[in-house]
Amino acid sequence: MDPLKEMSIKMNEIIAFIKDEFSKIRTNRPTTRLVEHIKVSYMNTEIQLIHIATLSISPPRDIIVSPWDKSTIPAITKAIEEADIGLGILADSSGVRLTIPELTGERKQDLIRLIKTIAEENRIKMRAERNKIVKELESLPEDQKFKGKNNLQKLVDDFNEQVDNLVKDKITEIES
Protein backbone atom coordinates (compact mmCIF):
# COMPACT_ATOMS: atom_id res chain seq x y z
CA MET A 1 0.00 0.00 0.00
CA ASP A 2 1.12 3.53 -0.72
CA PRO A 3 2.76 4.93 2.45
CA LEU A 4 0.92 8.25 2.14
CA LYS A 5 -2.45 6.50 1.81
CA GLU A 6 -1.52 4.43 4.84
CA MET A 7 -0.69 7.63 6.72
CA SER A 8 -3.97 9.24 5.68
CA ILE A 9 -5.95 6.23 6.95
CA LYS A 10 -4.05 6.23 10.25
CA MET A 11 -4.61 9.99 10.57
CA ASN A 12 -8.36 9.57 10.09
CA GLU A 13 -8.43 6.80 12.72
CA ILE A 14 -6.65 9.03 15.23
CA ILE A 15 -9.00 11.98 14.50
CA ALA A 16 -12.01 9.67 15.01
CA PHE A 17 -10.50 8.46 18.30
CA ILE A 18 -9.97 12.04 19.52
CA LYS A 19 -13.57 12.96 18.63
CA ASP A 20 -14.82 9.92 20.52
CA GLU A 21 -12.70 10.73 23.58
CA PHE A 22 -13.81 14.38 23.55
CA SER A 23 -17.47 13.37 23.31
CA LYS A 24 -17.11 11.53 26.63
CA ILE A 25 -15.88 14.63 28.45
CA ARG A 26 -18.64 16.30 30.39
CA THR A 27 -19.52 19.87 29.54
CA ASN A 28 -22.38 22.07 30.67
CA ARG A 29 -24.60 20.53 28.00
CA PRO A 30 -26.17 17.11 28.52
CA THR A 31 -25.30 14.31 26.10
CA THR A 32 -26.21 10.65 26.30
CA ARG A 33 -22.56 9.82 25.45
CA LEU A 34 -21.73 10.57 29.07
CA VAL A 35 -23.58 7.51 30.32
CA GLU A 36 -24.24 5.12 27.43
CA HIS A 37 -21.00 3.18 28.01
CA ILE A 38 -21.63 2.59 31.75
CA LYS A 39 -21.78 -1.12 32.56
CA VAL A 40 -24.88 -2.28 34.45
CA SER A 41 -25.19 -5.64 36.16
CA TYR A 42 -28.21 -7.23 34.48
CA MET A 43 -29.10 -10.93 34.70
CA ASN A 44 -25.63 -11.70 36.12
CA THR A 45 -23.80 -10.06 33.21
CA GLU A 46 -22.31 -6.63 32.62
CA ILE A 47 -24.23 -4.81 29.88
CA GLN A 48 -23.79 -1.26 28.61
CA LEU A 49 -26.59 1.04 29.67
CA ILE A 50 -27.51 1.85 26.08
CA HIS A 51 -28.42 -1.82 25.52
CA ILE A 52 -31.00 -1.99 28.34
CA ALA A 53 -32.55 1.48 28.33
CA THR A 54 -33.60 4.40 26.19
CA LEU A 55 -31.49 7.50 26.80
CA SER A 56 -32.83 10.95 26.08
CA ILE A 57 -32.12 14.59 26.85
CA SER A 58 -34.44 16.89 28.75
CA PRO A 59 -33.16 20.48 28.46
CA PRO A 60 -31.52 22.32 30.00
CA ARG A 61 -29.37 19.91 32.06
CA ASP A 62 -31.02 16.49 32.37
CA ILE A 63 -30.49 13.05 30.89
CA ILE A 64 -33.44 10.68 31.15
CA VAL A 65 -32.77 6.94 31.41
CA SER A 66 -35.89 4.86 30.67
CA PRO A 67 -35.12 1.16 31.15
CA TRP A 68 -37.11 -1.36 29.16
CA ASP A 69 -37.28 -3.59 32.25
CA LYS A 70 -38.29 -1.41 35.22
CA SER A 71 -36.77 -3.90 37.67
CA THR A 72 -33.32 -2.74 36.51
CA ILE A 73 -33.75 0.78 37.93
CA PRO A 74 -31.84 0.01 41.17
CA ALA A 75 -29.00 -1.64 39.22
CA ILE A 76 -28.84 1.31 36.82
CA THR A 77 -28.78 3.79 39.70
CA LYS A 78 -25.99 1.83 41.43
CA ALA A 79 -23.91 1.60 38.21
CA ILE A 80 -24.19 5.34 37.57
CA GLU A 81 -23.22 6.13 41.18
CA GLU A 82 -20.21 3.80 40.92
CA ALA A 83 -19.16 5.41 37.63
CA ASP A 84 -18.60 8.58 39.66
CA ILE A 85 -19.09 11.01 36.79
CA GLY A 86 -20.50 13.78 38.98
CA LEU A 87 -24.15 13.65 38.00
CA GLY A 88 -27.14 14.16 40.29
CA ILE A 89 -29.26 10.99 40.31
CA LEU A 90 -33.01 10.83 40.93
CA ALA A 91 -34.72 7.45 40.50
CA ASP A 92 -38.48 6.97 40.33
CA SER A 93 -40.83 4.22 39.14
CA SER A 94 -40.45 5.09 35.45
CA GLY A 95 -36.68 5.52 35.22
CA VAL A 96 -33.72 7.59 36.29
CA ARG A 97 -33.20 11.33 35.83
CA LEU A 98 -29.60 12.50 35.79
CA THR A 99 -28.87 16.18 36.36
CA ILE A 100 -25.65 17.76 35.20
CA PRO A 101 -24.44 20.26 37.80
CA GLU A 102 -22.86 23.56 36.77
CA LEU A 103 -19.10 23.20 36.17
CA THR A 104 -16.88 25.07 38.62
CA GLY A 105 -13.96 27.14 37.38
CA GLU A 106 -11.50 24.63 38.81
CA ARG A 107 -13.27 21.70 37.15
CA LYS A 108 -13.31 23.55 33.81
CA GLN A 109 -9.54 24.00 34.05
CA ASP A 110 -9.10 20.28 34.85
CA LEU A 111 -11.17 19.35 31.80
CA ILE A 112 -9.22 21.74 29.58
CA ARG A 113 -5.97 20.15 30.78
CA LEU A 114 -7.41 16.71 30.04
CA ILE A 115 -8.41 17.78 26.53
CA LYS A 116 -4.95 19.15 25.82
CA THR A 117 -3.36 15.95 27.18
CA ILE A 118 -5.52 13.74 24.94
CA ALA A 119 -4.62 15.92 21.95
CA GLU A 120 -0.89 15.81 22.71
CA GLU A 121 -0.87 12.02 23.25
CA ASN A 122 -2.45 11.59 19.84
CA ARG A 123 -0.04 14.03 18.21
CA ILE A 124 2.74 11.82 19.56
CA LYS A 125 1.08 8.78 17.95
CA MET A 126 0.95 10.69 14.67
CA ARG A 127 4.63 11.65 14.93
CA ALA A 128 5.53 7.99 15.41
CA GLU A 129 3.52 7.09 12.31
CA ARG A 130 5.19 9.91 10.38
CA ASN A 131 8.62 8.63 11.39
CA LYS A 132 7.75 5.13 10.10
CA ILE A 133 6.66 6.60 6.76
CA VAL A 134 9.82 8.74 6.52
CA LYS A 135 11.91 5.57 6.94
CA GLU A 136 9.91 3.92 4.15
CA LEU A 137 10.44 6.97 1.92
CA GLU A 138 14.23 6.82 2.44
CA SER A 139 14.45 3.80 0.12
CA LEU A 140 12.92 5.71 -2.81
CA PRO A 141 14.85 7.67 -5.47
CA GLU A 142 15.74 11.24 -4.49
CA ASP A 143 12.99 13.07 -6.41
CA GLN A 144 10.23 10.69 -5.20
CA LYS A 145 11.59 10.89 -1.66
CA PHE A 146 11.48 14.71 -1.73
CA LYS A 147 7.94 14.76 -3.18
CA GLY A 148 6.81 12.11 -0.68
CA LYS A 149 8.21 14.06 2.27
CA ASN A 150 6.46 17.24 1.08
CA ASN A 151 3.14 15.42 0.73
CA LEU A 152 3.67 13.77 4.11
CA GLN A 153 4.29 17.15 5.72
CA LYS A 154 1.06 18.47 4.18
CA LEU A 155 -0.82 15.53 5.71
CA VAL A 156 0.76 16.14 9.11
CA ASP A 157 -0.01 19.87 8.94
CA ASP A 158 -3.63 19.07 8.05
CA PHE A 159 -3.81 16.62 10.96
CA ASN A 160 -2.44 19.20 13.40
CA GLU A 161 -4.91 21.79 12.15
CA GLN A 162 -7.80 19.36 12.64
CA VAL A 163 -6.64 18.52 16.17
CA ASP A 164 -6.23 22.22 17.01
CA ASN A 165 -9.77 22.90 15.79
CA LEU A 166 -11.19 20.00 17.82
CA VAL A 167 -9.38 21.24 20.94
CA LYS A 168 -10.53 24.82 20.39
CA ASP A 169 -14.15 23.75 19.83
CA LYS A 170 -14.21 21.54 22.93
CA ILE A 171 -12.64 24.24 25.12
CA THR A 172 -15.23 26.74 23.84
CA GLU A 173 -17.98 24.23 24.66
CA ILE A 174 -16.64 23.77 28.21
CA GLU A 175 -16.25 27.46 28.87
CA SER A 176 -19.76 28.34 27.66
**CATH 3.30.1360.40 placement within the chain:** 32-99
32-99 CATH = 3.30.1360.40
Please give the biggest Cα pair distance in the chain: 72
With bands split at pLDDT 50, 70 and 90, how would you rate the model's confidence at 137?
Answer: confident
Contacts of 70 (CB under 8 A, 6+ apart): 93, 94, 95
- The average pLDDT across 47-64 equals 90
- Which listed CATH number (3.40.50.720, 3.90.550.40, 1.10.132.20, 2.40.110.10) goes with 3-24+104-175? 1.10.132.20
Residue 107 pLDDT: 82
Residue 1 confidence class, pLDDT cut points 50, 70, 90 = low
Q: What is the pLDDT of residues 74-121, one digit of tens each?
A: 999 999 998 878 788 999 989 999 988 888 888 889 889 999 999 999
Domain with CATH 1.10.132.20 in the chain: 3-24+104-175
